[in-house]
């Protein structure tokens, strides 16, 4: 809050970014998502998996 009070113009920058992201999501074509190609996913997976007590971030459950 202190930063936003000091740099109040950042609210407009953050708002514009959110509007841009929303428009981009709305007009994007349906594309297949590949989390293994995402750099953030690859960097965070070891930390998240350890915290969750698993080796992988996502698990696939099969019904028997």
Residue 52 pLDDT greater than 60, yes or no: no
CA gap 51, 35 in Å, rounded = 19
Q: Are 4 and 11 in contact (CB under 8 A)?
A: yes
The angle at the Cα of 41, spanning 64 to 24, to the nearest 5 degrees, equals 105
pLDDT on residue 17: 95
Q: pLDDT tens across 3-42, in order?
A: 778 888 888 999 999 999 999 888 877 777 777 788 888 8
Task: Tell me the whole-structure pTM to 2 decimals.
Answer: 0.45
């Amino acid at each position: 809050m202190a930063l936003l009070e000091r740099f109040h113009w950042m609210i407009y920058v953050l708002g514009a970014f959110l509007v841009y992201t929303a428009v981009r999501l709305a007009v994007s074509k349906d594309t297949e998502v590949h989390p293994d190609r995402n750099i953030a996913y690859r960097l965070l997976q070891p930390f998240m998996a350890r915290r969750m007590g698993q080796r992988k971030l996502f698990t696939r459950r099969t019904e028997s």
